[in-house]
Copies of this chain bind each other. A is one copy, B any other.
Amino acid sequence: MGSRKPRKRATISDVALLAGVSISTVSRVINHEDPSQMRDVTRDRVLDAMAALDYTPVKAARDLRRRRTHVLALLVPDISNPFFSLLARGVEAAGFRVGYSTLICDSNNSKDEERQHMSALLRQNVDGVILVPVGRPDLAGLERMERSEVPVVTADRRIPGIPHVEADNAGGSRELAKRLVALGHRQVAYLGGPEDVSTAEDRLQGFLDGLAEGGVAPVAVRRGDFTYDSGVSLGTEILRDEHPDAVVAGNDLMAIGVLHAAAAAGRRVPEDLGVAGFDDIQWAALVRPRLTTVRVPFLEIGQCSARALVARIMSYDDAVEPTCLPVSLVIGDSTCAARAREDATGVSPGERFRKRGDRTSRGGSGA
């Protein structure tokens, strides 16, 4: 790779000169896509000149004038988590479609790094931020953003006073609970997520409601931290101490931990024990037995968040409606009806229900 031509980058006035028009005319063809009142010949001459000079507008100059960067930021606890990376895909795609670029910021599950990133974003002059806070949100940081007129939308988390986009966690959880009751479970244990995460609370509450509707009380409610490891360890404990006929976890990762804990304890799933999760992450499709879970539309949450944020940016002064996206029950092979459990036939009972689609990663071109 030799040296590059030091030929200086063409500016708008170079284009104007070459096209034999004024710079404002060039500016017009750059900005007004529409058949703006402008003679086609003029327009074409400009276009030709731009092409000839390989002209690219300097974004900083435009931003300076328009006082808008058309950049959005997505701040998540861990971009390598499947929920957040799907969310990111949704945000990026929806943003791109309306002319926004997406800055990605990973707070590495640390409130401190989250704070750092928020300051950085302020300095970056992003037009808006989609936030998934780490645990209990940093109100001070949010306050600063709002004060700087940088709109914020939270995704998959609720913060009073901030517009948000989330899934119907409570509703989905409630349906799941009712399903388990219908399957004949009476000794149900729940393994929830952290208390400072609204999502976890909603799921827990919804589950208890659903159970109550079926006239069932949980045999135990524990708190994990949404990790696989906590699923394994708390799952082991629950199985040892509570003698449940079903364990439902607040997310899939913990549910898979429970699955493995059950295997280690010699309990067959679903014959001896029903297991269910929440999220329907891609990974789940690779685990056997297939997990009964609730599909959360992360991609859509991302898209919706981006759209909501852009709406806020444009209206520039008031909040948009909070959004709650529907979820759907996914019946796998980790739960079955009481009849089947008694028979213990070994025939995969999940097959009797709506079969979960094959939702494995397209994975394509992966490393």
Q: Roughly how many angstroms separate A358 CA and B279 CA in the complex, as a whole number?
A: 22
Give min CB distance, A329 to chain B, whole Å: 17
B256 near A365 with CB under 8 A, answer no
* A23 contacts B by Cβ under 8 Å: no
Give min CB distance, A321 to chain B, whole Å: 12
Segment 14-73 of A: residues with Cβ below 8 Å from B: 54, 56-61, 63-64, 67, 69, 71
* A226 contacts B by Cβ under 8 Å: yes
Q: Roughly how many angstroms separate A286 CA and B228 CA in the complex, as a whole number?
A: 9
Partner among B85, B148, B288, B363 whose Cβ is within 8 Å of the Cβ of A56: B148
A365 near B194 with CB under 8 A, answer yes
* A274 contacts B by Cβ under 8 Å: no
Could you write out 29 A-B pairs with CB less than 8 Å apart?
A4-B149, A56-B123, A56-B148, A58-B125, A59-B69, A59-B124, A60-B69, A61-B64, A77-B364, A77-B365, A78-B365, A79-B79, A79-B85, A80-B86, A81-B363, A81-B366, A84-B367, A96-B105, A101-B124, A193-B366, A194-B365, A199-B367, A225-B365, A226-B363, A226-B365, A227-B363, A228-B285, A279-B366, A282-B283
Residue of B nearest to A227 (CB): B363
Residue of B nearest to A64 (CB): B60
B367 near A156 with CB under 8 A, answer yes
A93 near B81 with CB under 8 A, answer no
* A234 contacts B by Cβ under 8 Å: no
B148 near A253 with CB under 8 A, answer no
> Within the oligomer, what is the number of copies of this chain?
2
* A220 contacts B by Cβ under 8 Å: no
List, in ascending order, chain B residues with CB within 8 A of A194's CB: 365
Q: A85-B85, A104-B102 are in contact. Are A4 and B317 (CB under 8 A)?
A: yes
Total number of A residues with any Cβ neighbor in B under 8 Å? 91
* A292 contacts B by Cβ under 8 Å: no
A88 near B109 with CB under 8 A, answer no
Residue of B nearest to A163 (CB): B1
B77 near A96 with CB under 8 A, answer no
Segment 169-203 of A: residues with Cβ below 8 Å from B: 193-194, 197, 199
Best-surrounded residue of A60, A67, A125 (most CB of chain B within 10 A): A60
